Structure formats: C-alpha cells, structure tokens
Structure 1
Amino acid sequence: MALVVAAAALLSMGFFGSSYPASQTRPSPTHDSLAYLFCALLAVNYVTLRETDARLLVEKILHAFVASTVAALVLGWFLSEWTEVNVLYYGVRWQHLSNNPNQFALIALPLPFLALHYLHQHPLGLRAFLVFFAALLAMILGWKSRSDALVAAWLLGGFFVGGALLYDVKMTYGLFQWRPTGPCLSAPCRWLSTILVLTLLCGSGWYFRPTMLGVLGALAPVLISQPPLPPGETAPRIGNDSPANSNDGVVSAVDRAQVSRRGALWRNSVAAILHEPVFGLGPGAHSGFNGPFEGEEAHNTFLDWGTQTGIVGLSLLLAYSSWIFYTVVRCRNPSITGMLLAIGLFSMFHFTLRQPIFWLLPLLAIDLAAPRPNEKKT
C-alpha cells in the first residue's frame, strides 16, 4: 500500500511540477494513469486475500491458461470472421486474446516456472501431468509469439533452474556427503521437471538463434556481413506495433536497424530523465528516436519509469524489486527465483508497469517461495 501511495504522489509531482520543453507537446497522462490505477486496485485486492493458500493458485492459473487458449482458438480462429478477433498478429505472431504478442508473452512467461514449482511441491498424479502439459502449451504458444524478450528471459531463468536441478540430483544420489534438508523432487517428478527444463532451454535457444545472430551482426559488422536495406525501405519500428519480428533465421540490416533504434530510445530516455531528474515528467511516453520528448516509450521498464518519476521513483522501484528478489532467494526456491530473473530481463525490453501481472507475480512469488510450516529451511 505504501508503494502505491508513493508512486501516485511521485507521478502527480512529476506531471504538475515539471517543465516541458516549449517546442514539444506533453503526452496525455490519461492512458498510463488509468492503467496504474487498475494495477494498484488488483494488487491491493490480492494483498487482502493473501490468507488463501497461494499454492492452490498455481494449478488454477495453469488451468485458466488452457481454458483461455481454447477460447482464443474458438473466437480468434474458427469464428474469427464473425467475432473479428484474430489470434495471429498480422497473420504471423500468436497474440492470444491480447492486443499484441508482447502482452501475451508476459502472460506466458511465468507459466513454465510455476509448473516446475508445482511439480516440486506435489506428488506425481493426473494433476501433475495436466500442469506439465499446460506448461508445454504455454511454451509452444510463447515461441509462436516470436517475442525475443520472452525467449531470452526463458533462457536466463531456465539456465538457473536447470543448474539448481542438477545440484539437486547430485545431492540426492550421494555425489557429496550430505543432502539438502529441504524437500527433494521424487524421481518421476524429477523426470518431468528435467523434460520441462530441457524443452524450455532447447526451444528458446532455437528461437533466439536468429536474434543472437542479428545482434552479433549489429555489434560486429566486420565478422558478419550485412546487406544494405533496399532503396526506399525503412526498418520496422520497435514495440507493440511491429509485425516484423519473424525470427526467420536471416541476419539482415533490419536486425542492425532495430538494435540501433532501441539504443536511440534508451539514450533519449536518459536525456529526458536528466531534464527533470528528481521527480520526473509524470505519466506518458517521453523518449523518441531522434531525441527526447517525441512521445515514444523507451521500451525499458526502468528507463520509462525514470522518465515519469525521476531518480526518486526509480530508486523506489529498484528497492522494491531488490527486496522481492532477496526475500525469494533467501527461501532457496529455484523455480520462483528463475521466474523473477526472467521477469527482470523481460522488463529490460518492454514497459511492463501497466500490466497487472507485473505487480501480482512478485507478491505471488513471495507466498510461493515461503516454506510450509512443516518444512525446514535449507
């Protein structure tokens, strides 16, 4: 609650107390303000219901995702002509029932890690297999969204969880002289978890390969030759309205242009922060491709928040995120820790503060990572 009040105060001070360049038009604060209000109401509502066992929510979340997938196929595929809903963004990228693939990517991001947590906490059975297949479905559709930030986040979180799973195997089979005091995975659940982690890593690595080649081509043009853009063709914009993120495996000048434009947005967002460094400029998009104050987002949660609330708000967000991460790490729950790492990386390439799931997941992570009363802390 204190964070909500502080954020509201900082946004108000930034909007009413900042000076905007006379040659630029201040963006409307309505869209961001309403989104923040909605997220705050959901977060406060979750806090009031935290006495409910959070572990029951994991199964419900994964089941709800499967149900939403069925609804998306019916409304946005089979009945698309009648409903005017389309599950494919520009006929290429899976967007589910959201407005764009990046929103869906954030929804799919935590599901494999929540499934791994469920397998760690529950015995093998029909429910465990349902959760396992729900996670596989989330990964397949997540890859079909062709979100580079999502697959990069899954790689980071997956490597962390995979390392923890290897450590658990070493401890369990006596490769060392002692075993962890916390609960270990049963053999069947360990196999399901191993399959899930390997699928997450291999699939994400395969889909991230073209992007990595593009980044290497942008950073090392001498090593990877890039053809120039055809005359009159411009690079696609970065963000929610970009249909060109196709991961077709071809290293092109478009990849270099995207890296360059992303860098421009980040540099110009820093310039906007320096214009009003203390309390920021209030709600709205304050970056740009050619300079600050062009009404573009930085597509970086921390930089965008810094332009809106200044160094004070940015420090508050970093402190809150660090506290959440430290609390979960202390509980030594690798699945939930990997999920937080993935969310953190994803947030570096998208502005996630307007999405309710960004605020609800950290609260859920704390509840899930906390050991049960009959469990010993490791």
Structure 2
Amino acid sequence: MIPDVLFALGLLLTPASQLRLAGFPVGPGEICLLIWIVLILGREAARLGQPLTPALSRLLIFWSIFTIAQSLGTLTARLIGDQHDPEWFMHDVMAYPLLAAVSCLSLIDPDAGTRLRRVGWLLCALGTPVVAAQLAHLWGLFDIPSVDPLWWDQFRGWSSNPHQLAVLCMVLGILSLHLAETATGLGTKIAALACAIVPVYAGRLTGSDSFTLILVAAGPIFIAFKFRTWLVSRAPRVSFRSAFAWMIVLALPVIVISVVPLAYSIAVEAQGLANSMARENPEETEEKTSLRFELWGQAIRRGVESGMLGLGPGPHLEIPHSIVSQRNMDTAQPEFVEHPTPSFAPNFEAHNTFLDLFTQGGLIIVLSFIWIVATAFWFAYRTGQAGLPTLLCGLCIYSIATFILRHPIFWFVIALCLVAEPKPADLVRSVTGGKALSGILSRSPLRIGYGTSKLRTRSS
C-alpha cells in the first residue's frame, strides 16, 4: 500500500512546480516518484525472471523507438550546426528517463490492472484535499512563501502555469467518472462522483480554454460511448438499456425535425453563454490564434529542415517578437515563473505535442506516439466502458495546446488503458446471453469455441 500511496502523491504533486526549492530541479512530486521507483526496482530485483506482459512490451517498444529518434535528432542537429539551449536541453534529458521509468514500472507487475485501479482510487481520494488546499491558499486561508497561486487573473495553484493544474483537474474529474461507472455499490459510485466536484471547480478557475472545451465535450463523448455499448449488446434478451438506446436512435430524426424551429434561439443563447464565459476580447483572441499558428508554422519548418529526423531534446523555436515585446511592456508579471528568455539558441516550444515531438525526433517519434496512443485507445474502447475512452480523448484534446507527453499523469492513463479488460462477468454474459447460462457455465465443463458463438460440451 505504501508504494501505491507514494505513486499517487507523486502524480498529484509533480505539477506543483512552485514547491521546488530554489536551484533544485525536483520537488515533492518528483521525490515521491523517485522513492517509488527505488521501491519497485528493489521488489522486482527480489523476484527476477518475471515474464514481460504485453502491455509492458508495448511501452518498452515505444521508449526504445523514442530513444533512438531523440539520439538521431541530436546527431542531426550537430551535423547541420544547430545549437541547443543547455538549460532546457538538460531539462528534457532528465525528464524523459523519469517518465519512461514511471510508465514501464507501473506495468511491470503481472497484476498491474488491479494495482493501477487502486492507484486510481487513491488519486481521486487524495486529489480532492490536494486541490482543495490549493484553493484554500488562493482564498488566503494560509500562506506559503515563494508560491503565488495566481497567474494574472487565472488560478494556477502551486503550478508554474494554469495549464499544468488544468490537466491534473481534468484527469481527476474524468477518472472519477470512470471509477463511478465501474463501481459496484451505489455508495461507492456516489463517493467516486463526489471526488470530481472540487477538481472540476478548480479547473474552471484556471481559465484554461482547453479545459472548458473538454468540460463541454466530455458529456456527449461519454454518452456516445455508452450508447455504442448498449446498441451492440450481444445478449439474446434485449435489456432496458439497449431498448432505450434504440428508441433514441429511431426517434432521432423526429427529434431533429422538431427542434429546427428552436435552432436560432438556441444559437443565440449559446453565443451569449460563450461571451459570458470568454476571458478575452476578440482582438486578444485573434492575436493569440495568430501567435499559435506562427509557432506551429515555425515548428513544421524546423522539422522539415532537419530532414524530418528532428533536432534532439529541448525546445527549438525562436521566441516570437510579440511575446518579447509584451514581456517588456508588462510592468507587473506573475512571480515564480519559469519560462525561456531570449538566448543565443532557440529555446521556445510550439505548445503542441505532435509538433514539439516532430522538432525533437522527427517523423519517427510522431508515428510511434500515435501508435501507442491509438493502441491504448483500442484497449480502452474494447472494454465497453465509456470513462476511459473519454479520458483519453480529453488528453488528446489537451495535446493540441500543450506538450502533454511530459506530464507523468498522462503515462498513468496510458498504462491504465493498456491493461484495461472487460469484467469476466460481462464476458460471460456477452457470450452466453444471460445470468441463467452464466450459472450453468459455472457448474458444467463447457468450452467456448473461438471464432464462433456456439458452445460445445465434451459430450457433443
């Protein structure tokens, strides 16, 4: 239980980069993860000879390709004379081995699925007080030296920027939904849903546009996955859920026709809601969009110039002039911020996972990342559950606006998806068609023939 608690605390506190001591690259979150890694390595050393699980093999393949691609990128940068900012280069060189160790060691146990689910419950149970403590700090109930919970008017808690906290809150919110979906008792379901209240509230205070988008899209995505499960149910008896889903699908054309006259008023209300939720005026939004496209275009150009082999770890883009001038104009800026400053070498990121990977490891690393995410999504999707696929979709949305790969909690979600399996009871019901035959199976030596829906007994 102690390693699981350390693992959960490490995932929760890693985004709290303001809690790091001055001059040290690690904080309480990284320390918890390092202690957890040492404990897991010591446990595994005592029982050598454990076979590789399929999930662990997939992650080892990804990180092997990742290492090769980053090495090729570094060699390419040397050949073409590209310079690295040593500070941010070493930042990635130190971060990637930690991420690889966290993701692989979380799957090294043959019973990783059960353990990761337990860690998921610890994440949600401990996440509420951790996020609540950051809210209490924001409201002035206590003070921590050298920590500012605000980023201008946005809530960032103990993180360096609001997006780090928003990613954590998003994962905690949808993970609570997944735990509620898969829980058995009513009390457990209510407890899991209650764990999502504080993170969702804190996530809204961060003012993250991506969090707002995910918050709006998570409901329809979750319902779509749920309906898919009910619609393709293989049970010979039509359950109430399946019947309800088919009723909605068949009635959908009538519903659409009936709401057409209300479309205009709904659009007007939605526009008013969007305007009330907006943090920026249209001019600021346009500047932000043009800046993002400028960075994306620069990242594509840099990746192509490297022969699509990348330039190695670290940021490789020039800081846009608009950002430099804005920093010089702002007299009051948030304290305790770590961001690149103009240097002799490019040291800015595209803030897009795929493009940042493209500038570091080229096309090879981008394709390997797509493969591991698609594989994790397939394993989550085939369970018939809606929470895990929704959570992975949320992280994919966030990957468009941030470098999601450097978040340890992202790799926890990938590991959780890779070991996700349908419940045995669900498998039996889908093959046999009900509880009655499930009871017969438990009392008779039946064999289930692969590739066919028939059941064969020894006598037949």
TM-score by length of structure 2 reads 0.61
1:177 Cα offset (Å): 7.5
Q: Cα gap change, 1:263/1:272 in structure 2, threshold over 3 Å: closer, same or farther?
A: same
1:75 Cα offset (Å): 5.3
1:261 is matched with 291
1:202 is matched with none
2:238 is matched with 178
Aligned residue type for 2:425: N
1:36 is matched with 96
Aligned residue type for 1:372: K
Superposed CA offset, 1:182-205 (max 9, x none): 9x9xxxxxxxxxxxxxxxxxxxxx
Q: Cα gap change, 1:171/1:356 in structure 2, threshold over 3 Å: closer, same or farther?
A: closer
Task: For 1:142 and 1:166, locate their aligned partners in 2 and report how far apart those are by CA, in whole Å.
Answer: 27
Q: Cα gap change, 1:250/1:9 in structure 2, threshold over 3 Å: closer, same or farther?
A: closer
1:366 is matched with 418
Task: For 1:109 and 1:209, locate their aligned partners in 2 and report how far apart those are by CA, in whole Å.
Answer: 24
2:106 aligned with 1:46, yes or no? yes
Identify the match of residue 309 of structure 2 among 279, 282, 289: 279
Report 1:281-360 matches (<5 A). Answer: 281-288=311-318, 294-360=346-412
After alignment, is 333-342 or 114-123 more displaced?
Answer: 114-123
- Unaligned residue ranges in structure 2 (runs of 5+): 1-59, 245-269, 322-344, 431-460
Query: What is the number of equivalent residue pairs in this alignment?
Result: 317
1:139 is matched with 200
Secondary structure of the corresponding residue to residue 118 of structure 1 = helix
Instruction: Give yes or no for contact 1:301–1:352 (8 Å, CA) kept in 2.
Output: yes
Task: For 1:50 and 1:210, locate their aligned partners in 2 and report how far apart those are by CA, in whole Å.
Answer: 52
Aligned residue type for 1:42: V
Task: For 1:209 and 1:42, locate their aligned partners in 2 and report how far apart those are by CA, in whole Å.
Answer: 43
- Unaligned residue ranges in structure 1 (runs of 5+): 185-207, 214-245
Identify the match of residue 376 of structure 1 among 424, 427, 431: 427
Superposed CA offset, 1:150-209 (max 9, x none): 22223333211123446678999xxx9823999x9xxxxxxxxxxxxxxxxxxxxxxx97
1:130 Cα offset (Å): 2.6
2:45 is matched with none
Task: For 1:285 and 1:120, locate their aligned partners in 2 and report how far apart those are by CA, in whole Å.
Answer: 40
Instruction: Give yes or no for contact 1:102–1:145 (8 Å, CA) kept in 2.
Output: yes
1:190 is matched with none
1:107 is matched with 168
Task: For 1:249 and 1:209, locate their aligned partners in 2 and report how far apart those are by CA, in whole Å.
Answer: 14
Superposed CA offset, 1:9-58 (max 9, x none): 22122112334766x74333101111112111211221124615133233
1:6 is matched with 65
Report 1:88-127 matches (<5 A). Answer: 88-90=150-152, 92-127=153-188
Superposed CA offset, 1:222-256 (max 9, x none): xxxxxxxxxxxxxxxxxxxxxxxx95455331110
1:262 Cα offset (Å): 0.3
Task: For 1:44 and 1:96, locate their aligned partners in 2 and report how far apart those are by CA, in whole Å.
Answer: 29
Q: Cα gap change, 1:295/1:141 in structure 2, threshold over 3 Å: closer, same or farther?
A: same
Q: Cα gap change, 1:157/1:288 in structure 2, threshold over 3 Å: closer, same or farther?
A: farther
Task: For 2:289 and 2:144, locate their aligned partners in 1 and report how far apart those are by CA, in whole Å.
Answer: 39
2:223 is matched with 162
2:119 is matched with 57
Bigger Rg over Cα: 2
1:221 is matched with none
Task: For 1:299 and 1:49, locate their aligned partners in 2 and report how far apart those are by CA, in whole Å.
Answer: 34
Aligned residue type for 2:364: V
Q: Cα gap change, 1:164/1:148 in structure 2, threshold over 3 Å: closer, same or farther?
A: same
Instruction: Give yes or no for contact 2:395–2:404 (8 Å, CA) kept in 1.
Output: no
2:282 is matched with 252
Instruction: Give yes or no for contact 2:316–2:347 (8 Å, CA) kept in 1.
Output: yes
Q: Cα gap change, 1:342/1:12 in structure 2, threshold over 3 Å: closer, same or farther?
A: same
Cα RMSD over matched residues? 3.4
Instruction: Give yes or no for contact 2:354–2:366 (8 Å, CA) kept in 1.
Output: yes
Richer in helix (by share): 2
Instruction: Give yes or no for contact 2:77–2:83 (8 Å, CA) kept in 1.
Output: no
Over the matched positions of the two proteins, sequence identity in percent amounts to 21
2:66 aligned with 1:15, yes or no? no
Task: For 2:123 and 2:210, locate their aligned partners in 1 and report how far apart those are by CA, in whole Å.
Answer: 22
Secondary structure of the corresponding residue to residue 296 of structure 1 = coil
